[in-house]
Amino acid sequence: MSHAVWTDFRGVMTPPLQEGLRTYCEGKSFTPAQLGTCLRSIADRHNSPDGMAVLDSGILDERQWTAALETELAAQYLIEADLSELGAEWWADRRVDTRWLTALRTWREAGVFVGLISNLPVDWKAPFAEFADWDGLFDAVLLSCDLGTRKPEPQMFELAESVSGLPAPSNVLVDDLEANVAGARRAGWQGVIGGGDSTASAIAHIESFVRVRAHQQGAAR
């Protein structure tokens, strides 16, 4: 085994974040842009890198987080909204990128280590487990709520390396967020933007060294 491919979940295996936000906001009294601004305000208030970090780092639990969003919508836009079902509605969108899932399965069958790294709030661990049948797809699943660290913190990449058993340059993170990709690169990994319109290029990049590995093994025979 010469490489480990680690995929993000939301935004890479599923539709991009902005598309997910558009779907969630359909029929609501607020727009994705307004919700994004409120998320940024909450992040700034708690000195967090982004609005989701406040939730998946455990600074706020899900209801505290949605209540904070409700407060921001009212204060900034005079919009009274009930976001108590945000989590349930978000997880009701079960679309997946079938091209990416097929690629992951193909690589794993070819002997590539395939793992998942997700910044996941503890409140959303059950919906994640119920989202799909993960058996046989991953060699390892690393969730921030289980580990006490999150992307792009260096500890997350150190833990992943110990799990894959491969040196840093042989580990690859495919993520839709530039901050996480940059964190992987700082850790000595390969970092690749994936998800949405970037899925094809991410597959092509990984296929380039998977094919090289297969060719080298064939030549050795």
The answer to whether residues 145 and 118 touch, using CB atoms and an 8 Å cutoff, is: no
Q: Rounded to whole angstroms, how far apart are CA atoms 136 and 115?
A: 11
CB atoms closer than 10 angstroms to residue 221: 4
The whole-number pLDDT of residue 212 equals 55
Q: Is the pLDDT of residue 218 over 80?
A: no
The answer to whether residues 156 and 166 touch, using CB atoms and an 8 Å cutoff, is: no
The answer to whether residues 5 and 116 touch, using CB atoms and an 8 Å cutoff, is: no
The whole-number pLDDT of residue 209 equals 86
Indicate the DSSP class of residue 168.
G
Tell me the pLDDT band of 34, cut-offs 50, 70 and 90: very high
The whole-number pLDDT of residue 214 equals 46
The whole-number pLDDT of residue 215 equals 44
The whole-number pLDDT of residue 213 equals 56
Indicate the DSSP class of residue 186.
H
Indicate the DSSP class of residue 31.
-
Q: Regarding predicted confidence, which is higher, 37 or 18? A: 37
Percent of the chain with pLDDT over 90: 86
7 Cβ contact list (under 8 Å, min separation 6): 13, 100, 104, 114, 115, 116, 117, 174, 175, 194
CB atoms closer than 10 angstroms to residue 212: 11
Q: Is the pLDDT of residue 103 over 50?
A: yes
pLDDT tens readout for residues 147-169: 999 999 999 999 999 999 999 99
The whole-number pLDDT of residue 25 equals 95
The beta-strand segments (E) located in the chain are 4-7, 113-118, 140-143, 171-175, 190-193
Mean pLDDT across the stretch 87-111? 95
133 Cβ contact list (under 8 Å, min separation 6): none
Mean pLDDT across the stretch 87-107? 95
The whole-number pLDDT of residue 1 equals 62
